[in-house]
Amino acid sequence: MGLVAFSPTWYPDPNAENASNTTVAGIVMIIVSQFFSATQFIIEAKLLKGYDLDPFMIVGTEGLAGFLIYLCILPILGSIGPCGPPYCS
């Protein structure tokens, strides 16, 4: 995480106008996403602590649920999104 967060400070984009603002915003977004990810792992561990479940079954169920959600949501979002030259051919 540290390398990703601080890489814009080591290799700044010379063409960017507000490089310092975007760098700080990017670092803040990475830290916030790490907080939410850690919170999810803690809540999941507390909820599943009392059950005797196979870890592979849990991971497979999460993956299948995510796949099915994206299978339903992506066509909808793809149809309402912008369709200009950089997005559609």
47 and 64 in a single domain? The answer is no
Same domain assignment for residues 41 and 72: no
Torsion of CA 36, 39, 44, 50, to 10 degrees: -170
pLDDT at res. 54: 86
Asked if residue 41 lies in contact with residue 59, where contact means CB atoms within 8 angstroms, the answer is: no
pLDDT tens, per residue, the chain with 89 residues? 566 666 666 666 666 665 566 777 878 888 999 999 999 889 888 888 888 888 898 889 889 999 999 999 988 887 776 665 566 65
3-class secondary structure per residue, 11-69:
CCCCCCCCHHHHHHHHHHHHHHHHHHHHHHHHHHHHHHCCCCCCHHHHHHHHHHHHHHH
Residues 81 and 68 in one domain: yes
User: Do 38 and 6 belong together in one domain?
Assistant: yes
Q: Which domain holds residue 60?
A: 53-89
Residues whose CB falls within 8 Å of the CB of residue 23, separated by 6 or more in sequence, listed in order: 8, 9, 12
Give how many domains the chain has, as a whole number: 2
What is the pTM for the complete model shown? 0.49
Q: How far, in Å, CA of 69 to CA of 67, rounded?
A: 6
